[in-house]
Amino acid sequence: MAWITHSHSLLTDCLFDAADLVMIGPFLVLIPLLYKPVTEKHPYGYSQVESLFLLVKYSVLFALTCNLLVENVKLLLGGGHDVDAGSIAIFELLVCFGCAAMYITLEHYSKKYESDTIKAELYMWRLDIVSSMGVAIAFALQTMLVHTRLNFLVSYIDPAVAVVMALFLIKEPVQVIFQSIRNLVLFAPEKEVFEQIHGIVDKHMKDYPYEVTFLDVIQTGRKLWVEVYIGNQTDVIHISILHRVRDEIRQELKHKYDQVYIEIIPD
């Protein structure tokens, strides 16, 4: 449709979704690796592969979006260009309905999973719904401007819409790129996640004669690794108690995170 109408706003949407589509193949190969058990050779499993995959995927999308942004700014400065606004408006309205149906379906089946990848996909479908509706409205307005004194704006609407879409779409790649880098270098998760885990650990530890001296939290993709270093108020460490408190913490955390690994370690 972008080729038929010569619309740069449709081309922006097309390239963004095409890059997403190409990445589905490698991701289908990646999924089984994410659930392989931890081994001595791979102490963190394959969870970082997901972060690497997202980093590559969104770096490509970021580069494409920046390129489209620059090209459409040049087009605006060069006087814009004319497109078949009516055809684009109808097409985008149909796309909006299709995206809404897809989002509802995916959201329904994703409720039992806690996956960064699925969250990213849901976010992209929401963006598609909003952007498609916005583009449809913009080009419907263009058809009305043709016979008014503002008809000189008609040539600028398509590149202007493309620029707005590019600015709107570029936010998600930037966020995911930074998050993926954090996961790859094994940084701690966001402050609110760390504080939530710390609160849960402290809540369960207060019933036992141990105190938390250090909490190490690492997030790799969808997996969360928590090491709780404890001090002891006596000279005796009861292994059975450590197992019990570890199971209690794990039981609560597994309702909030997809895959959680807990270790209680005497400091």
Are residues 57 and 178 part of one domain? Answer: yes
Query: Does one domain contain both 129 and 247?
Result: no
pLDDT computed for residue 94 by the predictor: 93
Angle of helix 239-253 relative to helix 191-205, nearest 10 degrees, comes to: 140
Q: Residue 200: which domain range?
A: 191-266
Q: Are residues 86 and 123 in the same domain?
A: yes
Same domain, 36 and 168: yes
Whether residue 154 is found in the same domain as residue 218: no
Residue 116 pLDDT > 70, yes or no?
A: no
Task: Supply the pLDDT for residue 233.
Answer: 67
Q: Are residues 173 and 55 in the same domain?
A: yes
> Residue 238: which of 206, 266, 199 has the closest Cα?
266
Same domain, 73 and 104: yes
Do residues 154 and 145 make contact, with C-beta atoms less than 8 angstroms apart?
Answer: yes
**Do 84 and 13 belong together in one domain?**
yes
Number of domains in the chain: 2
Residues 68 and 92 in one domain: yes
pTM value is 0.63
Q: Identify whether residues 81 and 49 lie together within a single domain.
A: yes
Give the domain-ending residue among 184, 207, 230: 184
Shared domain for 79 and 168, answered yes or no, is: yes
Tokens in use for 261? 């690994």
Q: How sure is the predictor about 168, in pLDDT bands with cuts at 50, 70 and 90?
A: confident
Domain boundary among 184, 214, 229: 184
Q: How confident is the model at residue 101 (pLDDT cuts 50, 70, 90)?
A: very high
Could you read off the pLDDT of 10-42 as tens digits, one per residue?
A: 887 787 778 778 778 887 887 777 777 777 777
Whichever domain contains 213, its CATH number is: 3.30.70.1350
Q: Provide mean pLDDT across the span 180-186.
A: 77
Q: Considering the chain, what is the average pLDDT of its residues?
A: 80
Of 261, 245, 227, nearest in space to 37 by CA: 261
* CATH number where 132 lies: 1.20.1510
Do 47 and 179 have their domain in common? yes
Rounded Cα–Cα distance for residues 186 and 116 (Å): 16
Is the pLDDT assigned to residue 99 strictly greater than 70?
A: yes
pLDDT cut 90: percent of the chain above it: 4
**pLDDT number for residue 117:** 66
Instruction: State which of 184, 202, 228 marks the end of a domain.
Output: 184
